[in-house]
Each structure stands twice: as structure tokens, then as C-alpha cells.
Amino acid sequence: MTDDNPLLATGALARFDLIRPAHVAPAVDALIAQARAAVERVAASPEPARWDNVAAPIAAALDRLDRAWSAVRHLNAVVSTPELRDAYNGNLPKVTALYTDLGQDERLYAKYKAIAASPAFASLDAAQRRVVDNELRDFRLGGAELPAGQKKRFKEVQEELASLSAKFDDNVLDAENAWALHVDDASRLRGIPADVLAAARAEAQAEGRPGWKLTLRMPCYVPVMQYADDRDLRARMHHGYSTLASDLGDDPAHDNSAIIERILALRDEEARLLGYANFGEVSLVPKMAGSPAEVIAFVRDLAVRARPFAERDFAELAAFARDELGIGDPQAWDFPYASEKLRQKRYAFSEQEVKQYFPQERVLAGLFGLVQTLYGVSIAPSQAPVWHPDVRFYDIRSRDGAIVGQFYLDLHAREGKQSGAWMDDAVNRRRDGGRLQHPVAFLTCNFAPPAVVDGRPQPSLLTHRDIVTMFHEFGHGLHLLLTRVDVPGVSGIEGVEWDAVELPSQIMENWCWERDVLESMSAHVRTGEKLPRPLFERMVAAKNFQSGLGTLRQVEFALFDMLLHTEYLPGRRGPHADAQAVLAAVRREVAVVPRPDYDRFMHAFGHIFAGGYAAGYYSYKWAEVLSADAFSLFEEVGVLSPEAGARFRDEVLARGGSRPALESFVAFRGRPPQIDALLRHNGMTTSS
């Protein structure tokens, strides 16, 4: 161990300004050695098993490793370089092996079983009992009950899965960074917003080239698809995006096809080793849903409810494209363009018009003000070492001024940063003796950075869709940051059923449609004018524009994910020849919008191949039922009600995973969840 390794520093916050790829391996080796030594002391102790000599010391031993590895994992996602990627991928098997070994340690398993069987178990608090129950479940899922030979194979499977998931993400990022369309003819760019063109010109100039450089990063790709009048330009962009990291992509080295098949085969093998019929069953053990059949029935029921609205949406869109835009046979690259034109005609506004009222700084101020009103906390800028000049750091404080939590905010797209938006934990809340460790979150988005438009600097402007994304991720952050649980394993988002973890994020989206909230965060970029009421009313009228199509798209993802992990069993049996055939069958069943044969969306579907949503993507719709119904209480008592906010904080956010999510929901809402609010919020009722 070296004293100058920032990953081994004992401070509360990581020294992101000092961490280099060369620090990763020595730090990981040292921290794994410390953790293994501590675990060995616990496992070999002859003392009767108690909470304070088993669970507490193991949590303390793993905390430093978790925090250091979280920093490395995050850097690899937001400032990826070949050297950092090699360091991350080279050490990932070591970390995976440690946790697999812990999950299979029969000595530790026996100690947790002894704690659960002891008279003292009843005297533990609810959070501690929940941890013990979860640990017993996770030992079984980790292979602790397997014979020695199968344990070895289970460990090999886990290590290979971890490496494959990391490689999947690497391929998507590399393919996205490698793809570009250089345009020299300005006439081909008609319709594209000025700020997007300014950024594209800046990208080209940075490479010493004339013209404009179009990329597949969201701040460029989405507005090009929505506004570019050149149909061929849209088609080329769509083909590039839809074939990312696939067999039809530009570089075979980035093809995820074999990785997908191997991941699915390994997950199937894992399930069979554990005695389950398929990976879908394994995935649901720690979730709210009881079985794959229950999930599939839920998703298909939603498809039936949404289909009439989706068919109506598509018929209107196709007719508009034909009659108003002269596109007689609209294709996938035409639908975003036609949708935006139809929205503008029907509701007399565009996303580009709306975003002029939402400079990023005003939106942040409005978001922070809302959180202060609802949850009685304050948010203020603070100081911490960061990994990029754009990154900011904030404190969240209680009314008495005490720090509740802190978070990093990284909002802008850039090369070397994975696309999408997410929240991750940097530090989890825990109490170690008399010391309280407060939580720290990473909040990451990929919005357009400030630009120079018509020779004038322009701040980052957010579309309403961007605002919804920011609120969503901040809801995840609040779940981590406002916990009052001090017990590792069930603090913040830890231990929360995966199909309930979207509740705090999705409920935040509802305030993006409230007049007072939107007005508080609006100021026209040129005039400072607040969002005009007529424009707001048109936005609300358009809220459920094509919601049937949007719902079916999510249903398509969810059903594909669950069938992929239950019906398609690589190398054994099943009705489908390969994963792409599963997707084709799902689209035949539920989709309304036709997809081109080249569409390889799943090759970049990181949620299920590199994230935590394998056989769990349905969670977005499952939790949307919870969030819509939970928000209906705010609608009943006042959407800015501090009393309702305090109740949501106390019964949901503060509880973390210390009790089942359904209990937390019922404690807040006063009854089990109902689907009516979801259908109403999406405009899918008989009166719609």
C-alpha cells in the first residue's frame, strides 16, 4: 500500500483530480486484501454469531473497497480513455471474484443463519432484520448451497458475465464515438436548429475540417431526426444509430452480437446451476413481482389497453405524413420528423420554441426550490475535486444546517462519456460507532453544452424532455440522499426491490407539468420572459401526444426483455432461433410502428446487457403504476404540499430498503396501488 494513492485516501470524498489509471490496480489489490482479511477474521471466529461481530464488521470492511471501486467505475463511464478502460477491465474480475467468494462462503452463511435463529434476532431493529433476511436470500442466489465443483463454475460464470457486460458498454461507446457524418453543403441542413448547427460546426473545426460534423450523441441526433428537412440525411443518421455496435455497424470490432448470445447463455447456465428454469425466475427473486408469468401478463395487459390509442396515433401520423408532408410511404427515419411537424400544427409550438425559456441554470434553481418546498431541505453549491471542469458539487442540508447528503452534477454530453442519464452511489449512508457517514450521489445527464449561436454565447438550453430527464434522475438521487437508515445494505436505494426503485424518480416527473413549477424555472434566453400561459396550456394539451405509441414502445422493450430471459434459451430449446428472432416476434405481437430490417436496437440495449435491468425492464411500467398513484395524493391535497412531501419523504425516501416497498407505498398512500392513475396520466381512458 502506498501513501500517495488517492484511491486509498481515507477522506470522505474521492480525489478525482488526482486519480490516474496507474492507481487502480494497487488500490484494488490492497483493498481486496483488507476485505478478505476482515472476512476471514469474522468467518473463523469461534464466538457465537451476533450482528455486531458478523454483519457490522463485514460492512465496514467492504465500504472502502466499494467507495474506491465506485469512483473507478464512474470515471470509466464519464471520462473514458484507453488507459482507464484497461485499468477498469483488468481489475473488474478481481472485484467480481471477491463478491462471488463472499456469496459462496458457507462459514458466513452459517453465521447469518445462526443470527436469524437466535433469540437475539427479535431484538434487532427492523432494518437489521431485513439485512439478515436479504443476506440469507443472497447466499442462496450466490451459490452458497452448491457443491464445490458447481461453486467453481458459478464463480467463473459471474466473472465472465461481468467482463462481457463491460465490453458491451465499451463497444457501444466506441461505436458512437467513431461514427460521424461530415456535411459541407449547408442546404442539406435546412430545418436543424441553430444551436445544434453551431455545435456541429465547432466539432468540425476542432478537427480542422470545414462544414459540420453530425454525431449520434443525443444533443445532435435527436434534433436532426426531428427537424432536418433532408430525408436522406435523416435516413443515414437513423441507420447509423440503429446499427450501433452490431453486425451491420461500421466496425466489426464493435459488434455486440456474439457478446449478447454469450451473456444469455451464461445467465441461463447460472439459473440452472441455482435450480431455476430460466434467468427470469432468478431475476425476480428479490423483486416485487412473483413470477415471469405475472410480469408477462402485466405487460401484455398494458399492451391491450394501449393498442387502440397507439393505432389511432399511428394512423393520424401516417395520414399527416402523406397529406401534409408528401411522404407517401413513411419510414422509420420519417416518424420523428413527421411527429414534430404534426405536434407543431396541432398545438402550435415546437420543442425548440419551448427550450428558449429554459436555460439550464434557471431549471436547476427551480428544481432545487421544489425539493426545498416538498422535503424541507436546502441545496447549495459546495467544493470537491471533480473529473471535468463542467462538473459541479452540492450540499443538501436539513433545516438546522446539518449536511444530509452531497452530490456531483455532470450534465453535458462529450466524447468519452457514455450516453444516457443515470444516478449512481458514490458513498452510502452508514453509521460506524459514533460516526455517521452521509451519502454522496453521482447525477449524470447528456444535455447540449453552451454554444455560440450567431456570434453570441448562449447558455445550455433544455427541452422539456431534458427537464423531465433531470427531474427523473434527481428523484433517484433523493432516494439515496434523504435516507434515514444507517444500516448498510438497506440504506438509500440499497435493498430496494428493483421494480420499485423507479418510484422516487418517476414521481418527480409529474412536477414537470405543473404551471407554478415550470414558471419558476423559466426565463427566456433573450428577453427573460416567463413561460407564457398560452404556451404552457398548449404544452399540457400536447402532454399525451402519441402516448399510445410511447407506451407500446416501452411494452415492446419490457416484453422482449422478459421473453428473452425465459423463452429463449441459447443452445438448448425455445421457439426462437436467436435473440433477434425474439425481438421480431415481440414486434409482430405488440408494435404498431414498422421497423426496418436493419434495426439492431438491442445491440446497444445497455439496460439489460450491461446494467441492472436484465429480466427487469418491466420495472419502468410497474413503478409507473406506483408513481402515478402516489402522485394522485399530491393532486388531492396540493401538488406543492409540504405535508404530503414530508409524508413521502418519511414513508418512502427515508426508509430505503429497510422494509418491503409495498409496505412503504401503502404507508404513504393508505392503500395498495391502483392502475387508474397511470391510465389517466397517459390519456388512455374511455374519455380520452
Which residues are known to be catalytic? 473
Q: Which grid cell is 420?
A: 444516457
Side chain identity, residue 660: P
Closest CA to 384 of 410, 364, 416, 420: 410
- CA dihedral for 568, 570, 573, 578, sign (positive or negative): positive
Q: Which residues pair with 393 in a beta bridge?
A: 408
Q: Radius of gyration over alpha carbons of the chain, in Å?
A: 25
Closest CA to 408 of 428, 421, 420, 426: 426
- Three-state SS sequence of 488-538: CCCCCCCCCCCCCCCHHHHHHHHHHHCHHHHHHCCCCCCCCCCCCHHHHHH
Dihedrals phi, psi of 616, to nearest 5 degrees: -150, 10
Dihedrals phi, psi of 613, to nearest 5 degrees: -105, 15
- DSSP for 262-327, written as a single string: HHHHHHHHHHHHTT-SSHHHHHHTTSSS--HHHHHHHHHHHHHHHHHHHHHHHHHHHHHHHHTT--
Which of the 8 DSSP states describes residue 194? H
Q: Pairing mode, if any, of strands 430-432 and 435-437?
A: antiparallel
Q: Which residues pair with 457 in a beta bridge?
A: 452
Q: How many residues does the chain have?
A: 688
Q: Which residues pair with 410 in a beta bridge?
A: 444
